[in-house]
Amino acid sequence: MFRSPLLLAASLSLISVLHVSANSAPPAPESIRNEVIVSVKEQKLMLLQNGAKVTTYPVSTSKFGLGDGFGRMTTPVGAMAVAQKIGDHAPVGAVFHRRRFTGEILKPNAPGRDPIITRIIWLRGLEASTARAFARCIYIHGTPEEKRIGKPASYGCIRMKSKDVAALYSQLPVGAVVQVVTDKLPRVRKAKVIYDIKAPDAPVEKGRPSPLVNSPGQTGATQKNAAARAGRSPRA
């Protein structure tokens, strides 16, 4: 049966469009906004992308309670933002002292050890209730005391398992909002497609972002807190 060239071209074009539509991921949104909510009540952290849930992680907030006062070793409640990220490409379990890698690497639950390890996400306050967060060195960071994750155990910071903080670090850019709340995590829709913030046109598989994707860090401190001025490293 004879088909005109125009009709044949139109048919092939339609088949091509249908094939691409069936096998391509949805186009990336114009902007990707990753943020975090931490529930003190549940001792959980939820990573959101454009308002949809990517995943949740168990955490530990302060065993001394909540607040933003100097010397109280409490976790501030309210809105904060990522100020600096420290630990790009450091190995899992890398020990940090005054935000510098010491060269030592610890395994989970190393006996008698409780330093800051793996990654540091340094927070700054965005409102009155969190105004001292940066000066107090409030971090999201790894801890070797993984057996205590899931219950209040820190000295003010938000502790995570090493593999979890490495994954979070890769997907939480400087400036991202971190909200600490006293209630349970909100119920939100799950993300259908998760986009890597460093390669937004290439969606990753559903689930936890890969800890192998690191973003450029901003190492070094621009401010010193009271503990640093006293010549000691803050407890976290």
- Looking at residue 22, its pLDDT comes to 41
* pLDDT over threshold 60, residue 174: yes
Residue ranges covered by each domain of the chain: 34-229
User: What's at 24, amino acid-wise?
Assistant: S
| 139 vs 233, residue with greater confidence | 139
Give residue 4's pLDDT band: very low, low, confident or very high (50, 70, 90): low
Q: How confident is the model at residue 146 (pLDDT cuts 50, 70, 90)?
A: very high
Buried b (16+ CB within 10 A) or exposed e, 85-116: bbbeebebbbbbeebebeeeebebebeeebbb
The CATH number of 34-229 is 2.40.440.10
16: alpha, beta or left? (left if phi > 0; alpha if psi -120 to 50): alpha
The answer, yes or no, to whether residue 127 has pLDDT greater than 60, is yes
At 222 the pLDDT is 33
Q: What is the pLDDT of residue 200?
A: 56
Of 14-28, 58-72, 150-164, 195-209, the one with minimum mean pLDDT is 14-28
Confidence of residue 95 (pLDDT cuts 50, 70, 90): very high
**pLDDT: which is higher, 152 or 209:** 152
Q: What is the pLDDT of residue 13?
A: 46
Tens digit of each residue's pLDDT (9 = 90 or more) over 201-220: 555 544 444 433 333 333 33
Residue 93 has pLDDT above 70, yes or no: yes
Q: Please tell me the predicted confidence (pLDDT) of residue 61.
A: 99
Per-residue pLDDT at 197: 78
Inform me whether the pLDDT recorded for 18 exceeds 90: no
Q: How confident is the model at residue 71 (pLDDT cuts 50, 70, 90)?
A: very high
Q: Which two tokens stand for residue 49?
A: 């992308």
User: Residue 97 has what pLDDT?
Assistant: 96
Q: How are beta strands 94-97 and 100-105 bridged, if at all?
A: antiparallel
Separation of alpha carbons 10 and 224, rounded Å: 67
Does residue 169 contact residue 80 with C-beta atoms inside 8 Å?
no
Reported as a single tens digit per residue, the pLDDT across 32-46 is 999 999 999 999 999
- The mean pLDDT of the chain is 82
227 pLDDT more than 50? no
